[in-house]
Structure 1
């Protein structure tokens, strides 16, 4: 009984400690956008091409890719103009077509969903011709209004790794907001993992290289849950509260798993437990976990792993380039 109460206490502490710089979240938690994208009804009712358009709710990225491959340039352009929200968020649509559909949200935007706090994915570099692809999966308090930080990380990684690399800043899931139960549970991470897997499948059917995933803080929970169903070449976690797995083997992935944690990162004070759905499990930087631990002694803070000049950013670029 005493051991159970100890574990329960540490799980509750996780609720208080995991998080970032935001305020307290509401008791009801974040609402994940559900239902069809805006414009889906008009998309499904469109019979002007003489063929049924793929249902965003059921079509796989492979189905979508095959459909768009069957279209003429003029037909693709008409779908972009008539149904930009659907085309711009449909995994399996060619990269350049998605850019055009999302042009109102900026350059090289690969996904844009304005519902709720907003979801967005933006590319740094030449994705269509990249020899290497990386995806940054951020943690809590990231949405359209705070996306610039993740976009800056992508730019810094792309510059360090070189022009043959494309880096995608992927704020494509609803992140926890503030400090609250959402941070200590896997609810949002489970939804995020499903979206991440579909997104990477879309990259795969586009003929792009298997990506390296760079997962920060709560984003590492997302990547841990997505690991078994993604074709990632590498999974790199930093400032991680846990990956909801006891060790690398339990992740069920062939990817090389890497982990970094600065001695100045407050995440080190978070108890690495999982009890009654609270907490995210083992520390990925522990020797028992089995990840390759990266140097991070010069990283000054929880949000500084992509800072130019740090040992972590240098190591991240070497992983992308296949030099580690």
Structure 2
């Protein structure tokens, strides 16, 4: 016969609770956290879903990319951007119109342009036809035509640093590759590889076409920031790159460099001020979807060449004068022995 508890005392349970100081297994502890984040993230896309689509022409029809077609490619994409600017103005979107108009100016070298939706653009800084060293920047979340100025500044900072380092007769080019629809920072897609899986074949194809337009034997580096490192991780097999640098990475979806199946040198860095250090480096199946990207790229277990990014925050890897920018320039130039390590 069970006795009733005394007044003011909690009832006893026939099954004693676990020891209060016993830690739950890490994957079990993280499941509710990831589930909560995923559920909360649904709010942002739904609130933004009602935004009217910005009209723009379809991308220009272009000849295969070669050194001799570069200038006609640039001109066709500038013309397309100018048309997109006029359509955005007529639609009543001055911000997008200004972004399109800036890309249509004669000084811009666009390998690709698509003003529809969030927009995509691939831009060259430097002389691609004669470049000995080429850096391809792959951006992370919240990068679109509306925020492209920020991404362009990143590419310009690297290009300026490179030109100060190179000897006369050595040519460099930096390519800002916004060739996919990036996820929003607060969204369910940012925690899964869905967008990266869509982007990876495009990035592989772009680098292959890039090789056809650049001088034979040009050194090609991919510098992949934040969610862009997930894209590069997915694209790594058969990617025609010499170096892949993962910066501010939440993970790649691979457990190690070997699992990337790439012949490229793989680098990684994270500044001490980067909030991504607090993102759980796990993968878990939630609601039929794999959430998270696994092993931390700067960990010894991953096996990348970890370089110094000093105190960089998540947006600070390309800050002029910073340790991270200097090391990214050295990687681009193939000066691997000069890269400083963390």
TM-score, with structure 1 as normaliser: 0.76
Distance in 2 of aligned mates of 1:24 and 1:136? 30
Name the CA shift for 1:230/1:101 in 2 (closer, same or farther; >3 Å).
Answer: same
Name the CA shift for 1:24/1:149 in 2 (closer, same or farther; >3 Å).
Answer: farther
Distance in 1 of aligned mates of 2:179 and 2:274? 25
Q: Which residue of 2 aligns with 1:307?
A: 319
Name the CA shift for 1:294/1:10 in 2 (closer, same or farther; >3 Å).
Answer: farther
Aligned residues: 267
Equivalent of residue 275 in structure 1, options 284, 292, 305: 284
Contact 2:65–2:213 under 8 Å retained in 1: no
Name the CA shift for 1:13/1:228 in 2 (closer, same or farther; >3 Å).
Answer: farther
Instruction: Could you tell me which runs of 5 or more consecutive residues in structure 2 were left unpaired when the two chains were aligned.
Output: 1-23, 50-55, 82-103, 337-342
Q: Which residue of 1 aligns with 2:239?
A: 230
Q: Which residue of 2 aligns with 1:198?
A: 205
Q: Secondary structure at the match of 2:299?
A: coil
Q: Any idea what the Cα deviations from partners look like across 1:87-117, whole Å, max 9, x if unmatched?
A: 18x6669322211211233320110011211
Q: Any idea what the Cα deviations from partners look like across 1:227-273, whole Å, max 9, x if unmatched?
A: 01211111001110001100000000011111110111110110001
Distance in 2 of aligned mates of 1:231 and 1:17? 38
Q: Which has the larger radius of gyration?
A: 2
**1:9 maps to 2:32:** yes
Contact 2:131–2:214 under 8 Å retained in 1: no
Q: Secondary structure at the match of 1:235?
A: strand
Contact 1:10–1:273 under 8 Å retained in 2: no
Name the CA shift for 1:173/1:275 in 2 (closer, same or farther; >3 Å).
Answer: same
Q: In the TM superposition, what are the counterparts of 1:257-276 in structure 2 within 5 Å?
A: 257-276=266-285
Q: Secondary structure at the match of 1:147?
A: helix
Query: RCO (CA 8 Å, sep 6+): is it higher in 1 or 2?
Result: 1
Contact 2:243–2:264 under 8 Å retained in 1: yes
Name the CA shift for 1:127/1:250 in 2 (closer, same or farther; >3 Å).
Answer: same
Name the CA shift for 1:87/1:248 in 2 (closer, same or farther; >3 Å).
Answer: same
Q: Which residue of 2 aligns with 1:317?
A: 329
Contact 1:117–1:144 under 8 Å retained in 2: yes
Q: Secondary structure at the match of 2:60?
A: helix
Distance in 2 of aligned mates of 1:214 and 1:249? 19
Instruction: Could you tell me which runs of 5 or more consecutive residues in structure 1 were left unpaired when the two chains were aligned.
Output: 31-36, 40-83
Distance in 2 of aligned mates of 1:291 and 1:27? 38
Q: In the TM superposition, what are the counterparts of 1:139-288 in structure 2 within 5 Å?
A: 139-162=140-163, 164-208=171-215, 209-276=218-285, 277-288=290-301
Name the CA shift for 1:295/1:17 in 2 (closer, same or farther; >3 Å).
Answer: farther
**1:118 maps to 2:119:** yes
Q: In the TM superposition, what are the counterparts of 1:32-43 in structure 2 within 5 Å?
A: none
Q: Secondary structure at the match of 1:150?
A: helix
TM-score, with structure 2 as normaliser: 0.72
Name the CA shift for 1:179/1:133 in 2 (closer, same or farther; >3 Å).
Answer: same
